[in-house]
Structure 1
Amino acid sequence: MANFSVHTIETANDDSKPLLEDSKKAYGFIPNLHAVMAESPALLEAYQSLTDIFDNKTNLSTTEQQIITMTNNRLNGCSYCMAAHTSIMQAGKVPEDVIKSLRDGTAIADPKLEALRLFAEKVNLQRGNLNDGDIEELLAAGYTKQTVFDVIVGTAFKVLSNYTNHIGDTPLDRNFSKNEWSSEA
């Protein structure tokens, strides 16, 4: 397989440099995911834009957003994103039992949150080929039709990062290493 660079601001092409500078401002460091994505300014910009959209333009709480992202990370077997998003959840005060359920792929005790987890799982596994019953279960749990499409936004967001990490063999950042995860665990 091709070896992909983990770019710095100095080694990135001119179009990626300001994007990496934005990452450094936002996180206090440049996550290796962003450094690998810098190979393609279009990919890095798409990822940063979709991150902003998912975080700030959906009607989902931090916990709900992380349920969608972590469900996709786990199903897609992305060790990097499982560790990174565990750190994000801990910083965002997501309840520990929810974090454990998402890392293990087990039911969440809260029935509404569990309905969202199951729906995100179906969207991923069925590639969006849902039946009316799948959508009705989500709506019956207290979510809206907007949530149906916000789950798709979160799924697309994770495709960008999960696939990049698989192809680029992104090394785990030291900042996330305490939350290392393996699909074999």
Structure 2
Amino acid sequence: MNDFKIHTTESAPKASKPVLEAAKKKMGFIPNLMATMAESPVMIESYLTLMGLFDKTELSETERQIILMTNNRLNACTYCMAAHTAVSKMSGVDNDVIAALRSGTPINDPKLEALRTFAIIINESRGWASEEQVATFLAAGYTKQTVLDVIVGTSLKVLSNYSTHIVEPELDAAFAQVAWTKDMVSVA
């Protein structure tokens, strides 16, 4: 295990303190991932800024979570899968969608499944989607803007998933009931 400090608003570097205070105000607590990201003021600010920007897309909460959770699963980020499962449940994402995202199985809604599939393509191809793959995604009812928004969501997950792999934060109690491992096939 790497020895990264779980910062508080008192122990964090000066430039990270206001960012952690804002996270605590918004969420009611500072998740351990953010507390470890605070070691780098640029990292924590980048993550929260990009998260705020991603929330401004025209995508629904369900669609944003499809992109985020698909990347979490593909990147084997147990912390982020649990966190986003909890967020999805609190935000009213359908339980069947959550179960499909956690298990990596198709979503019953064809348009949402097209989004999940395209998020997989972007992640696995490192952005080298073919013209045919983009055309298929657009034919499902999405736009060129959505193509680029999927890349934004994927970028957000690079920040959090890769950080989690290195800093190895302990899963917060708030997410413990929806812990996830790669071999899970449904929502707890």
TM beyond 0.5: yes
CA distance, structure 2, for counterparts of residue 130 and residue 141 of structure 1: 16
Report the count of equivalent residues: 184
Deviation at 1:184, TM superposition (A): 3.0
1:78 is matched with which residue? 77
User: CA contact under 8 A between 2:121 and 2:127: conserved in structure 1?
Assistant: yes
1:151 is matched with which residue? 150
CA distance, structure 1, for counterparts of residue 16 and residue 130 of structure 2: 41
CA distance, structure 1, for counterparts of residue 2 and residue 40 of structure 2: 15
CA distance, structure 2, for counterparts of residue 30 and residue 143 of structure 1: 35
1:163 is matched with which residue? 162
- Pair 1:18 & 2:15 matched: no
Cα RMSD, aligned residues only: 0.8
Deviation at 1:182, TM superposition (A): 0.5
CA distance, structure 2, for counterparts of residue 171 and residue 137 of structure 1: 40
- Where 2:98 maps in the other structure, the secondary structure is helix
Deviation at 1:2, TM superposition (A): 3.8
Matching of residues 1-185 of structure 1 within 5 Å = 2-56=2-56, 58-185=57-184
Q: Which runs of 4+ in 1 moved over 4 A?
A: none
Structure 1 residues 102-156: Cα deviation after superposition (integer angstroms, max 9, x where no partner): 0000000000000000000000000011111110111110000000000000000
CA distance, structure 2, for counterparts of residue 106 and residue 150 of structure 1: 22
- Where 1:15 maps in the other structure, the secondary structure is helix
CA distance, structure 2, for counterparts of residue 61 and residue 33 of structure 1: 25
Deviation at 1:3, TM superposition (A): 1.0
Partner amino acid for 1:63? T
User: CA contact under 8 A between 2:5 and 2:36: conserved in structure 1?
Assistant: yes
Partner amino acid for 1:39? E
Structure 1 residues 15-70: Cα deviation after superposition (integer angstroms, max 9, x where no partner): 111111001001000011110000000000000100000012x1100000000000
CA distance, structure 2, for counterparts of residue 94 and residue 169 of structure 1: 27
- Where 1:107 maps in the other structure, the secondary structure is coil
- Where 1:184 maps in the other structure, the secondary structure is coil
- Where 2:15 maps in the other structure, the secondary structure is coil
CA distance, structure 1, for counterparts of residue 90 and residue 79 of structure 2: 17
Partner amino acid for 2:49? S
Q: Give me the TM-score of the superposition, normalised by structure 1.
A: 0.98
User: CA contact under 8 A between 2:50 and 2:156: conserved in structure 1?
Assistant: yes
List runs of 5+ in structure 2 lacking aligned partners.
none
CA distance, structure 2, for counterparts of residue 139 and residue 17 of structure 1: 42
User: CA contact under 8 A between 2:122 and 2:128: conserved in structure 1?
Assistant: yes
Partner amino acid for 2:159? L
User: CA contact under 8 A between 2:2 and 2:168: conserved in structure 1?
Assistant: no
